[in-house]
């Protein structure tokens, strides 16, 4: 193989556009996929990510030009690749969003904050107690950084429907984080925002 010929091959506009997309979004898509796999299956995350980018290359003409819209489109493709992978040999119940100790620590890290370890445990337990669909709705906005409109596209629903689901998921998450005795002492606290 003549590597000189490869190095001197001009990059097309499509090639440059794809290279920019890959450079900008690869790590985000990999994390997106990894959060939705069981920790023992993380080796599949890279394969599924590459499959998503292969589809993106094949459908480059469908890829939106706006970077945020392109990211949402790519997350939709990645999510579909993951669902196809799960259908091929896994149960749908395996599809949930995992949060690592690092993510929990990041969410709760404030200087001089006592009890952070206990809060991380509470956060992880509350997260695991959420329905996988609620985890997905929250994760698209919080960890994946998508707007309501972009997250709705990933899930194939309207923006209004996404916002309703997000509100319900956040409410359920807040409720799961409340101390059990606080709920019984002050029932009005459940309605505070």
Q: HEC string of the chain?
A: CCHHHHHHCCCCHHHHHHHHHHHHHHHHHHHHHHCCCCHHHCHHHHHHHHHHHHHHHHCHHHCCCCHHHHHHHHHHHHHHHHHHHHHHHCCHHHCCCCCCHHHHHHHHCCCCCCCHHHHHHHHHHHHHHCCHHHHHHHHHHHCCCCCHHHHHHHHCCCHHHHHHHHHHHHHHHHHHHCCHHHHHHCHHHHHCC
- Same domain for 80 and 157, yes or no, is no
Domain count, the chain: 2
Do 106 and 69 sit in the same domain of this protein?
no
Residues 85 and 112 in one domain: no
**Residue 123 sits in the same domain as residue 84:** no
Same domain? For 109 and 84 the reply is: no
Write down the pLDDT at residue 42. 73
On whether both 76 and 103 belong to a single domain, the answer is: no
Residues 82 and 121 in one domain: no
The pLDDT of residue 183: 43
Q: Which pLDDT score, from 0 to 100, does residue 55 have?
A: 93
* Last residue of one domain, picked from the residues 95, 113, 148: 95
pLDDT means per 10 residues, the chain with 193 residues, are 50 86 93 84 85 93 91 93 79 52 49 54 76 87 87 88 89 80 43 41
The pLDDT, as a whole number, for residue 161 is 87
Choosing from 95, 130, 163, the residue where a domain stops is 95
Tell which residue, 50, 45, 20, 23, has the closest CA to residue 33: 45
| Domain final residue pick, 52, 71, 95 | 95
Question: Is 69 in the same domain as 160?
Answer: no
| pLDDT on residue 8 | 52
Query: How confident is the model at residue 57, as a pLDDT?
Result: 92
Looking up residue 65, the CATH number of its domain turns out to be: 1.10.1740.10
Within this chain, do residues 73 and 142 fall inside the same structural domain, yes or no? no
Question: At 102, which CATH number?
Answer: 1.10.10.10
Together in a domain, 101 and 184: yes
Closest Cα partner for 13 from 50, 67, 61, 56? 61
Please calculate the CA angle 109-112-115 and round it to the nearest 5 degrees: 70
83 and 9 belong to one structural domain:
yes
The answer on 88 and 1 residing in a single domain is yes
Q: Which domain holds residue 159?
A: 97-193
The answer to whether 140 and 146 have CB atoms below 8 angstroms apart is: yes
Task: Give the pLDDT of residue 188.
Answer: 43
User: What integer pLDDT is reported at residue 73 of this predicted model?
Assistant: 94
What is the C-alpha separation between 120 and 129, in angstroms, rounded?
14
């Amino acid at each position: 193989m003549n590597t000189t010929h490869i190095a001197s091959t001009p990059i097309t506009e499509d090639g440059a556009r794809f290279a920019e997309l890959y450079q900008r979004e690869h790590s985000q898509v990999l994390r997106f996929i990894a959060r939705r796999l069981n920790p023992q299956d993380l080796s599949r995350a890279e394969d599924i990510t590459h499959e998503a980018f292969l589809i993106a290359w094949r459908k480059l003409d469908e890829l939106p030009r706006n970077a945020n819209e392109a990211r949402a489109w790519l997350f939709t493709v990645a999510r579909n690749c993951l669902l196809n992978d799960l259908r091929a040999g896994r149960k749908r119940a395996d599809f949930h969003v995992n949060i690592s100790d690092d993510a929990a620590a990041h969410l709760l890290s404030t200087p001089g904050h006592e009890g952070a370890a206990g809060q991380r445990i509470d956060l992880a337990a509350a997260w695991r107690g959420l329905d996988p669909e609620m985890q997905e709705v929250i994760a698209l906005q919080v960890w994946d950084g998508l707007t309501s409109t972009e997250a709705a596209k990933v899930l194939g629903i309207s923006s209004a429907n996404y916002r309703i689901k997000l509100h319900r998921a956040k409410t359920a998450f807040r409720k799961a984080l409340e101390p059990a005795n606080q709920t019984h002492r002050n029932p009005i606290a459940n309605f505070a925002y």
